Structure 1
Amino acid sequence: MQHLVRPHAVTCRFGTPNTCKHKQSLALRKPFGPSCSQSPSWVGATLAVGFHITHKAFKAFRLLRHRQAPGPRFSSTMSAAHREETACEGEVFLYDQMFGYAGFEAGAAHERCEGSKAVVCIGGLTDGLLSLRYLPALAAELRRVGWRTFQPVLESSYRGWGLASLDEDVAGIDKFLSFLLSSRGITEVVLLGSSTGCQDAVHYLKAGKLISHVRGIVLQAPVSDREALEVEAGDEHIQSLHEFGELASKMISEGRGEEMMPRAACELFGPPHVISAYRFDSLSRRLGDDDMFSSDLSQDELMQRLGHVHTPALLVASADDEYVPKRVDASKLCHRMADAMAAGVAQTAECLVLAQGGHGVRGPEPQTRFIHAVAGFVDRLAGAGLPEDGRLSPLTWEVSLADVLRERAAALPEKPLLVALAGMPGSGKSRTSQILLRLLHDCLVIPMDGFHTKLSDLKTRPDAENVVYRRGAPDTFDVSLLKEALQKVKSGSSSVKFPAFDHARGDPVEDAICFDRDIHRIVVVEGLYLLYDKDEWQGISTLFDYKVYLDADIEECIGRVKERNKVIPGYTPQEIDERCEKVDRKHAEVVQLTSGDADLHVGPSLSQGQN
């Protein structure tokens, strides 16, 4: 009789019981004998997968990121967290038939929801199924808000991390997501990276093939592997770490990046796992491929690494993370990373800093806070029943605009692409330009506000009182200086200085921004009158290779300007409102009339399209 069963899928119970002892392995206990794999009853059988560690095996199995507290390199005492059982019922299935890579969906058959939204958990170095000890409780809470929980075994799982790369992990995640989309009815995904899995989640948003299905990412313990190595190595091994780093770099330069490092180099990572020269370099070198979260990276360097994160993001750090140097302020670093993301500019990158919990979020209270934060985050991604300002949405037209500019720049290999980003006051030009700055790593943003005529010069005019009051009008800018600077960029100058604008002082700051032809392939100038073609502004738009107009509702724009100008000292709220109506509305109407000269209209209120 033919049995209709799902192939290569088993209902199982994962656990870490402490009654049996064996080394690192998966023990699949088949109660039906050697031929049971062909039996339909085997499909519904219960499996116990054990991670049982004796003192002898603990040295070999010690996880790089799961030690419970700083101490000797090899602890002779197992922590309570390792002794406790971690168990979870669910389904194991093969998502890669050729190589037999498995995935796991948490939850007993009668508990699992059949929704289309999934959180996919990506572990760190040496992690495998259920090594994220909070996964069972997290899965239960996510079910409550309609999300399913999955975890894949990747090529880099367990001991495979030393031979892997972020690109290979992205390829594995692509395979896993493709399986979920085609075989499990999943359409929306949140990637939850833990430890080095955070690098995978971030890199996926740059190199993954199914990015359009990723609604957000959760980064749990986004810490620096390079700094963790220094913490682990201690002063006595720092010199060895540097020497092996030089060896790895030399091997890579000789085309031997895939060859193995000496055993002594591997031991610097904890257990004597095999590690290639490339992976050693990636994890240990400043600005190596894996170096995304180090505390010594400048804000510009963090933007280079994290700026492309355009989906909503939840960053979760522990103030007592044992792999973070004591000198590092976890909260400050977490917020610096969020600010470096495009999502941070859009105010959809959130930070949660746990006072306790360590690297693996240990303990009931930290786990509860973490789990509730993740559930709340994904619930707001769905947005059901929430007001618009309470939802978390990925950037859409901004990402499309970045793609357009990237393609345009590629078509001009011999010179930088000069872009005008015009729009009414309060339309979101500054926000959009800062998002582009993060999405486009070779981009320079120049605010037109830097070309305001100085207040001291305005006050020398015969109509000084009037011109100062209506400052921001077309005749209150130094247009000739702007044209001169743009002409220098177009004519091939290797570097050009531009002014910025100090809003606290209310005046330009000379030479604050520098264009470098060797670095900047895209130059975005954002401002009001870049498409204006009267008086001194005549011909300004012809200096740009591409002209973008940011569409917005004029009433919404004026409302934002009123709110923004409340911080200006010396004015009452009534005076602010009156000036916005008399001055800023007039400026907005002038700008609105110039929109017809744009090559592209963008904005949240319309579908992007060529004129």
Structure 2
Amino acid sequence: METACQGEVFLYDEMLGYAGFEARAGQGVLEGSKAVVCIGGLTDGLLSLRYLPALAAELQQVGWRTFQPVLQSSYRGWGFASLDDDVLGIDKFLSFLRSKRGITEVVLLGSSTGCQDAVHYLKVGKLTDIVHGIVLQAPVSDREALSVETSGNQVEALCEFAKTASKMIAEGRGEEALPRAACQLFGPPDVITAYRFDSLTRRLADDDMFSSDLSEDEMKQKLGHVHTPALLIASADDEYVPKTVDVSMLCHRMADAMAAGVARTAECLVLQQGGHGVRGQDAQAHFVDAVARFVARLSVHELPDGTHLSRLTWEVSLANTLRGRAASVPSGKPLLVAIAGMPGSGKSRISQILLRLLQPDCLVVQMDGYHTKLSDLQSRPDAADAVYRRGAPDTFEVSSLREALKRVKAGESSVKFPAFDHARGDPVEDAVCFDRRVHRIVLVEGLYLLHRNDGWQEIPDLFDFKVYLDADLEECIGRVKERNKVIPGYTPQEIDKRCEEVDRRNAEVVQLTQGEADLHAGPKLNQAPED
């Protein structure tokens, strides 16, 4: 079946002669400031993404234009290119679109290894401010794909060339080509550098972002920085995914690892058919419809069902502030940060987002781990009242928290913290471990970190930087009521009564501490002046 598409081919890099293509449905010049930029994978070039004509036609209906650049890695050039090389090319392409085509909002659509380009661009690209979302079509591990395609003597050859590549890189010869036989493991091109071979075949190398054997922490390190809305589209019958891999589970693990996943703006779609390249009319129709719906939700700011997708903005700004602060702290000392706010203000959410944005040298500690054990509360003279008020300032082991924070500041190499197990309703000891060699930023999130009464007097002074989450009191109480509906053994009336009598009182106590903050943060990013 012939693949053809109307459109315009143009040079976006006059010096090197790199071309771009705008796909169109019908005659005429398209107008509009929103564009989906398609980034192909290994060996891909113009129109090698067979769904491009149908995608352009559908996107045109929702006011989005469709482009595809030729990059250094396109066609047979990927063996000499790197993700950084592609980022430079994407920078040039987006700059051209902005200045010559009036494009101000972009969604990067990566296909296959182009998914790595899209993810990497969000980390190091210069024009990320105009990237409002990413689509990852076939985010597949090249390393695992090789395991599907190689057997027998090829496996032995793969190991030998991996050793050769590693040795060449150690000798400063990473940009030199491996013997031609190394390329035959991949197919075209005829040459591949030691660096690119290593990147595509070694665990946790630059290209290794989507492998099923990555741990949760490793996946967060690879994907955590993705702060724009993301649509991950995988095929259950992808021929490059090992049969032992649950495609749906892996896709959701990737989404959960992203900062966007914490914000619930990373979504997954698993096509039952279509394979790696989304082949066939039915699969393409499903894919095209999903992408069009995704970008439409980026465009409309007020949807009746509240499904508008937006980038993380103030969260990224806060992460950048903390990264800058940490850089000014003497080597070997962590930046100790308090994230304080009322119940329901989003402390856990922002902490998990920051954890991903600040990977790999960030640790999150929950103040809730220092809840007094239920059995200890029950042994107090005011047992009934103490249990009912659990979560108030005097129902925490403040002295234990104080000592742990002092140990971190004193320079100890390792400090263990408890965490609260909601299933058990009690803390679990030694659940989180601070490692001075790894963690440059320690985020402690909780209600009373800025409180100076009820035994908390010394706590605020132990932090290097204090953040208060601005939020509306009534909205916070509403969230707590909704959240507590899942607690077994209580009627809705009992839950509402306790929220009003306990959580509201705690929230009012926390509100009084906001003046201790160095920075106020929230959707409006109302920042306090910094020193």
Instruction: Give the TM bin, normalised by the shorter chain.
Output: over 0.9
**Aligned-pair CA distance for 1:607:** 3.6
Partner of 1:320: 237
**Aligned-pair CA distance for 1:605:** 4.3
Residue 455 of structure 2: SS of its match in structure 1? helix
| Contact 1:216/1:311, CA 8 A, preserved across alignment | yes
Residue 475 of structure 1: SS of its match in structure 2? helix
Partner of 1:410: 327
CA offsets, 1:124-155, max 9 Å, x none? Answer: 00100000000000000000000000000011
Residue correspondences, number:
528
After TM superposition, list the pairs within 5 Å mapping 1:148-547 onto structure 2.
148-387=65-304, 389-414=306-331, 415-441=333-359, 442-547=361-466
| Contact 1:601/1:610, CA 8 A, preserved across alignment | no
| Contact 1:121/1:151, CA 8 A, preserved across alignment | yes
| Contact 2:25/2:60, CA 8 A, preserved across alignment | no
**Aligned-pair CA distance for 1:606:** 4.6
Distance 1:384 1:439, change over 3 A: closer
**Aligned-pair CA distance for 1:97:** 0.7
Q: How far apart, CA to CA, are the structure 2 residues paired with 1:272 and 1:379?
A: 38
Letter in 2 for 1:418: L
Q: How far apart, CA to CA, are the structure 1 residues paired with 2:44 and 2:5?
A: 16
Q: How far apart, CA to CA, are the structure 2 residues paired with 1:141 and 1:546?
A: 48
CA offsets, 1:533-567, max 9 Å, x none? Answer: 01310111000000000010000000000011111
Residue 610 of structure 1: SS of its match in structure 2? coil
**Aligned-pair CA distance for 1:604:** 1.3
Residue 137 of structure 1: SS of its match in structure 2? helix
After TM superposition, list the pairs within 5 Å mapping 1:85-124 onto structure 2.
85-107=2-24, 110-124=27-41
Q: Out of 532-541 and 592-601, give the one that drifted further.
A: 532-541
Q: How far apart, CA to CA, are the structure 1 residues paired with 2:469 and 2:526?
A: 12
Instruction: Return the TM-score normalized by structure 1.
Output: 0.85
Match of 2:495 among 572, 576, 582: 576
Q: How far apart, CA to CA, are the structure 1 residues paired with 2:382 and 2:286?
A: 61
Once superposed, which parts of structure 1, at least 4 consecutive aligned residues long, lie more than 2 Å away?
A: 108-113, 605-611
**Aligned-pair CA distance for 1:385:** 5.0
Contiguous gaps of at least 5 residues in structure 1? 1-83
CA offsets, 1:43-78, max 9 Å, x none? Answer: xxxxxxxxxxxxxxxxxxxxxxxxxxxxxxxxxxxx
| Contact 1:397/1:608, CA 8 A, preserved across alignment | no
Residue 157 of structure 1: SS of its match in structure 2? coil
| Contact 2:76/2:188, CA 8 A, preserved across alignment | no
**Aligned-pair CA distance for 1:108:** 5.4
Partner of 1:136: 53
Q: How far apart, CA to CA, are the structure 2 residues paired with 1:409 and 1:464?
A: 43
| Contact 2:4/2:53, CA 8 A, preserved across alignment | yes
**Aligned-pair CA distance for 1:610:** 2.8
CA offsets, 1:335-393, max 9 Å, x none? Answer: 00000000000000000001110000001111111100000000000115513721000
| Contact 1:113/1:146, CA 8 A, preserved across alignment | no
Q: How far apart, CA to CA, are the structure 1 residues paired with 2:63 and 2:357?
A: 31
Distance 1:522 1:536, change over 3 A: same
Q: How far apart, CA to CA, are the structure 1 residues paired with 2:269 and 2:29?
A: 28
Q: How far apart, CA to CA, are the structure 2 residues paired with 1:242 and 1:332?
A: 29
| Contact 1:117/1:146, CA 8 A, preserved across alignment | yes
Residue 260 of structure 1: SS of its match in structure 2? coil
| Contact 1:433/1:526, CA 8 A, preserved across alignment | yes
Q: How far apart, CA to CA, are the structure 2 residues paired with 1:256 and 1:396?
A: 40
Residue 77 of structure 2: SS of its match in structure 1? helix
Q: How far apart, CA to CA, are the structure 2 residues paired with 1:349 and 1:179?
A: 28
Contiguous gaps of at least 5 residues in structure 2? none
Higher alpha-carbon Rg = 1
Q: How far apart, CA to CA, are the structure 2 residues paired with 1:540 and 1:260?
A: 57
Residue 309 of structure 2: SS of its match in structure 1? coil
**Aligned-pair CA distance for 1:524:** 0.3
Q: How far apart, CA to CA, are the structure 2 residues paired with 1:232 and 1:378?
A: 35
CA offsets, 1:318-337, max 9 Å, x none? Answer: 01000000000000000000
| Contact 1:531/1:594, CA 8 A, preserved across alignment | yes
Partner of 2:479: 560
Greater RCO (Cα-Cα under 8 Å, separation 6 or more) = 2
| Contact 1:263/1:272, CA 8 A, preserved across alignment | no
**Aligned-pair CA distance for 1:472:** 0.3
Partner of 1:58: none
Say whether 1:602 aligns with 2:521: yes
Instruction: Return the TM-score normalized by structure 2.
Output: 0.98
**Aligned-pair CA distance for 1:113:** 2.9
CA offsets, 1:575-611, max 9 Å, x none? Answer: 0000000000000000000000100000014544437
| Contact 1:112/1:143, CA 8 A, preserved across alignment | no
CA offsets, 1:376-423, max 9 Å, x none? Answer: 000000115513721000000000000000000000032100000000
| Contact 1:107/1:140, CA 8 A, preserved across alignment | yes
CA offsets, 1:268-309, max 9 Å, x none? Answer: 002352100000000000011000000000010000000000
Q: How far apart, CA to CA, are the structure 2 residues paired with 1:272 and 1:536?
A: 68
> Alignment RMSD, CA only?
1.1
**Aligned-pair CA distance for 1:570:** 1.1
Q: How far apart, CA to CA, are the structure 2 residues paired with 1:328 and 1:123?
A: 24
| Contact 2:25/2:57, CA 8 A, preserved across alignment | no
Partner of 1:592: 511
| Contact 2:341/2:510, CA 8 A, preserved across alignment | yes
Q: Out of 258-267 and 331-340, give the one that drifted further.
A: 258-267
